[in-house]
Amino acid sequence: MRLHLLLLLELCGAGPTAAALSFSLRGNWSICNGNGSLELPGAVPGCVHSALFQQGLIQDSYYRFNDLNYRWVSLDNWTYSKEFKIPFEISKWQKVNLVLEGVDTVSKILFNKVTIGETDNMFNRYEQCSFSWDWGPSFPTQGIWKDVRIEAYNICHLNYFTFSPIYDKSAQEWNLEIESTFDVVSSKPVDGQVIIAIPKLETQQTYNIELQPGKRIVELFVNISKNITVETWWPHGHGNQTGYNMTVLFELDGGLNIEKSAKVYFRTVELIEEPIKGSPGLSFYFKINGFPIFLKGSNWIPPDSFQDRVTSKLLQLLLQSVVDANMNTLRVWGGGIYEQDEFYELCDELGIMVWQDFMFACALYPTDQDFLDSVRAEVSYQIKRLKSHPSIIIWSGNNENEAALMMNWYHINFTDRPTYIKDYVTLYVKNIRELVLAGDKSRPFITSSPTNGAETVAEGWVSQNPYSNYFGDVHFYDYISDCWNWKVFPKARFASEYGYQSWPSFSTLEKVSSTEDWSFNSKFSLHRQHHADGNKQMLHQAGLHFKLPQSTDPLRTFKDTIYLTQVMQAQCVKTETEFYLRSRSEIVDQQGHTMGALYWQLNDIWQAPSWASLEYGGKWKMLHYFAQNFFAPLLPVGFENENIFYIYGVSDLHSDYTMTLTVRVHTWHSLEPVCSRVTEHFVMKAGEAVCLYEEPVSELLRRCGNCTRESCVVSFYLSADHELLSPTNYHFLSSLKEAMGLCKAQITAIISQQGDIFVFDLETSAVAPFVWLDVGSIPGRFSDNGFLMTEKTQTILFYPWEPTSKSELEQSFHVTSLTDIY
């Protein structure tokens, strides 16, 4: 792609009225393909695909097989051109810069037909997942995807401004390190002063500075009086996200005033790797403000192939859905992009911790000097841009490249491995790590994910087994073993990737497909599945515990199959996540002390089967509703071992609480429990997972009216003074395809409105597993969904994301349970 700028010679004659001017070049541009046969207007920021679509020259790129049909767009060369008048006299300014915040990706930039620059790095790297992944399409976009402008200034210009709060443990006080980078174009030194004010912390400090000509860095150190109470930033579910408004005013020679405003958050983060009694290896967990935090969440990918479609509204919706599901962490995966500023600002405000990968994933990278220079520029820029965000708690050098190298994913000749290891260390240790340690002292760095952490360092930066359960983090996927069997999961220190696929809802697929596509084995369904054997694996896993749809109506079978894949995914990830949650406080067979569970993946990039819990556009899958429950601050977790039924209590609370556990047993054919047991009061310790209840399954069945595994189901919850403290959880005593007494449930709903919220009063004729409420394409979410309905009535709320009416909901509403497909 070539970027072509044309400048008219007529210049406005007005002289400068300020020390700096900025002239935006956003808006309409002209776009032309390589041979000149196609010319069209296009918006900047934007990309060629979006321009072609807006002009009606192509369909929606996500419709049916258009990812194949429109490959010609990426294979062509494109020129962006704009003719404009600069509204000021250039000669009056000491320096005039053309600033392009983001060009995608390989380009030549011409100004008045004179080449003034070239680009080959989208991140300051190719957006790797643009070329497809096992959850996304191939759309290597081209265009000016971020802001473009002309800047003019005299005397000096502030290029970068960043800061880091640092806590001095010995002095027990907060300090603020502020770094400002200037381009001084004056031929003489520029003197002045800097006034830093944080009013709510009663802090105002003044510094004298002298800027010599050239590129200059000003480093300032602000001390916050220990007599002032500083409220710290906490992750969601652990406290408030308190921030303080700060202004920094540079008063310089020549009447030049430069003012910056920012929100400052104070928090500490530590990655704890220390010996554990009863287990070889080291721990791997995070302390925020000195408090151990279990990281609960998912992995973030770009929410669209076309960055100009990633709006503020979409980011807000997706990230609000993160905290609404009781998550506190997202891992920004290393095969996508460094997200826009607003993403990190929202994470700061919402209390979402960010595990930030650098953009290297599943590949062996070169280490020639040109490439290293490009990487160093990229990494330095991103550190400066992002380090002031409290939400970012760790830098990670890459995604899975240590594992790829040491597990020999790419079939490297054994004699060549030392060369590849040397290149790996050169890139991630001697360059990226070096830059992080020099540029950011406020958070830890690891070279890869998964990694063995300190053990990886001790083994020369690559471990013989990067998937060890005794160190660091692990990625784990197993689509063949029975996901209801918790013994197949690794009792690791930290699970940063794991998951199962499902299909998105029919209402989401319908928008990008036609009637001939609506079957599980259609050409469309096979094409949309980018994970090898993914569709078969879903049906295999579902078939272990559920009867597969058998309707004679092909469309009904397709919809039922979609539903069943979501049931399977939700139940599998629930089982695995609960295993990690209950492993936090124990060592069993020398393994345990798990302190993180980040399932793959949070969101979708298009409408297709994937591991996501949020569909393209933000609709909640069943898994996301399950996450809202299994990531709750207080949760009872049930499981079996050697025919003994256990219930653990898992607490993310900061205080101990006195409570009771209620255990109920229902038969599948009755809405009345056959037995119920309430424990004595006990104290649930803060931040722990402990066994609360155990009973042989045979005894449980005997005392509950001669239940059998196939005829009964167990539910349980935590409460205090008759007030529910936890979600109601459940445990299946057998596969549901073997359930006895399960009959078709007739479920009705009466919908009413209370302000902006809609109330669904449900009534069922029978016990119904995996009750799924759906309102089609109406955007919004329910208070709960995919639930086990064991009582005759239940009230569920619907929170619309856009204005809607009761009549629209009634027309779109549909309810499904597992009994509908049996």
Q: Which residues are catalytic?
A: 400, 497
Number of CB atoms found within 10 A of residue 71's CB:
13
According to DSSP, the residues that pair with 677 across neighbouring strands are 663
CA distances from 711 to 101, 542, 548, 736 (A): 63, 20, 20, 10
- Cα–Cα distance, 636 to 167 (Å, whole number): 37
Indicate the residue type of 350.
L
CA distances from 437 to 222, 380, 431, 442, 784 (A): 21, 11, 10, 9, 44
**Do 715 and 727 contact (CB within 8 A), yes or no?**
no
**Do 80 and 4 contact (CB within 8 A), yes or no?**
yes
- Cα–Cα distance, 397 to 434 (Å, whole number): 11
What are φ and ψ of residue 587, in 5° steps? -120, 120
Sign of CA dihedral 59, 65, 68, 69: negative
Instruction: Give the three-class secondary structure for 231.
Output: coil
Instruction: Give the three-class secondary structure for 625.
Output: helix
Rg from Cα positions in the chain: 29
Can you say how many angstroms the Cα of residue 540 is from the centroid of all Cα atoms in its chain?
A: 28
Sign of CA dihedral 408, 409, 413, 416: negative
DSSP line for 415-447: GGHHHHHHHHHHHIIIIIIHHHHHH--SS-EES
* Lookup: tokens for 126: 């190719």
**Omega of the bond leading into 79 within 30 degrees of 0 (cis):** no
* Lookup: tokens for 322: 């993160």
Report the candidate in 794, 800, 715, 707 with the shortest Cα–Cα distance to residue 753: 800
* Lookup: tokens for 223: 């001390």
What are φ and ψ of residue 585, in 5° steps? -110, 5
Contacts of 126 (CB under 8 A, 6+ apart): 105
- Cα–Cα distance, 729 to 712 (Å, whole number): 15
**Three-state secondary structure string covering 500-549:** CCECCCHHHHHHHCCHHHCCCCCHHHHHHCCCCCHHHHHHHHHHCCCCCC
Contacts of 598 (CB under 8 A, 6+ apart): 295, 296, 297, 298, 299, 329, 330, 331, 355, 495, 496, 497
